[in-house]
Amino acid sequence: MTPPLYIALRFLTHRKRALLLSLSGVVFGVAIFICTQAQTQGFSRYFIESNIGSNGALVVRSRFRPRYEPLMVTAKNSKAAAGRRVYFEGITNPNEIMRVSRQFPDVISCSPVLRGTVSARAGFENATVDLYGIDPALHAQTTDILRQLIEGKFEDFRNNTSAIIIGSRLAELLQTSVGDTVQLLAPNGEYWRFSVAAIARAGIGSIDSTRIYSHAKIAQALLQQPSGASMIIYKLRDRNRAPVLASRFETLFQHNALSWQEREESTLQLFLTLRMSVAITVSLIILLAGFGIFNVLTMSVLAKIKEIAILRSMGYRRKDISAIFLWQGALIAAAGSVVGCLLGAVMTWGVSHIPIHLRGLLYTNYFLVTWDWHHYAFATLLALVAVFIASYVPARRAAELAPVVTIRGSR
């Protein structure tokens, strides 16, 4: 142990009450930062996982007509028209698009979907729903629909073309359960009868309250659609590469391709704003702890003037004196960060077991948290920076004290 470090320990333990107050500020600041970040990121990640599990990491839809810019003449009063695409509903040759896209190494699987809006009726209850016509085998490979089932069996749906899978909140609205009959209204005014084979819970209110899955051929006949698919959804090995792959698919297939980041941009920005707001608010606790450490070290310098003068007369240099007080701050920051990280882990675990009844944007019965080492690293870094800044001024002041003057003034 170096002399400055040993002296710093002696100075710190001499004023135990001030040490505990300074240490507690860092501990609670780090712990609360970790816990709040785990919560906000937990809800955000749950939304992302649920959304990708239901809608895919990438969606190809709506064929568009290429614009031959060198051959076009833009009207004088038209500024944005030249940059707009002309879209056509539906997918042209979905089987060929899927065959080619499967050759990309980032693509795990893909599934065609025929989507339409219809009216559903069960008993005396009615609702407007999104009908998803799917290939059961491909959709099970591409999405998390098998894990989302809370009642019924997927095999009953796959083996029966007159069966459907219905969202959990929609089932509550229609007051229906597995084995009941639901009628869907076709565009020609006829009601088609389906049996409920299973009930699915995606965990996102907008999906669970509106979605019904049926077989693709049945949905095509009911919706009277000439195209066999409205979109193709993709499961990727690395979901973060979805924007790059979407750009390549648009160029290759001349269809609109949308990544999950672009599709859920507004919601993701909301979660990011909440995380930043919470981080800034909680960081104030660590900042206040830094002010406390500044006061403690400043008072320590004033109380140890005689000792500092003796050390200077013994041959200690200015940087040695400065190191003594910087070591005090470093010890507080290190101990506070370690204890704060442990307390943050305990608080995160405790919060994850607090029951809640959330049935809005997300579906959960407990607080959602994420265990991420980045939270601990960033909280520790924040504490170290705050404490270093708080320690620097008292350390510099102590180093600038002249030994002869301080000895005279301390008599």
- pLDDT (tens digit, 9 = 90+) per residue, 352-379? 898 887 777 788 888 888 888 998 998 8
Tokens 């031959």 belong to 68
The pLDDT value recorded for residue 81 is 44
User: Is the dihedral angle over the CA atoms 16, 17, 22, 28 positive or is it negative?
Assistant: positive
The answer to whether residues 195 and 180 touch, using CB atoms and an 8 Å cutoff, is: yes
The pLDDT value recorded for residue 183 is 93
The pLDDT value recorded for residue 105 is 93
Alpha-carbon span 35 to 368, nearest angstrom: 11
Alpha-carbon span 37 to 274, nearest angstrom: 10
The pLDDT value recorded for residue 356 is 84
The pLDDT value recorded for residue 347 is 92
The pLDDT value recorded for residue 10 is 65
Q: Quickly count: other Cβ atoms within 10 Å of residue 189's Cβ.
A: 6
Q: Which residues pair with 126 in a beta bridge?
A: 121
The pLDDT value recorded for residue 308 is 62
Where do the DSSP E strands lie in 77-135? Answer: 86-88, 107-122, 125-134
Which DSSP category does 162 fall into? Answer: T
Low pLDDT (below 70) residues in the chain: 1-2, 4-16, 18-19, 65-85, 87-88, 295-316, 318-321, 394, 396-411
Q: Which long-range contacts (CB under 8 A, 24 or more apart) does 380-383 make?
A: 380/30, 380/337, 380/340, 380/341, 382/30, 382/33, 382/283, 382/286, 383/26, 383/29, 383/30, 383/286, 383/289, 383/333, 383/336, 383/337, 383/340
Q: Which two tokens stand for residue 10?
A: 């002696």
What's the pTM value of the predicted model, to 2 decimals? 0.77
Alpha-carbon span 280 to 382, nearest angstrom: 11
Element (H, E) at 275: helix 265-303
Alpha-carbon span 243 to 221, nearest angstrom: 34
The pLDDT value recorded for residue 80 is 45
Residue of 381, 384, 380, 394 lying closest to 323 (CA atoms): 394
The answer to whether residues 200 and 194 touch, using CB atoms and an 8 Å cutoff, is: no
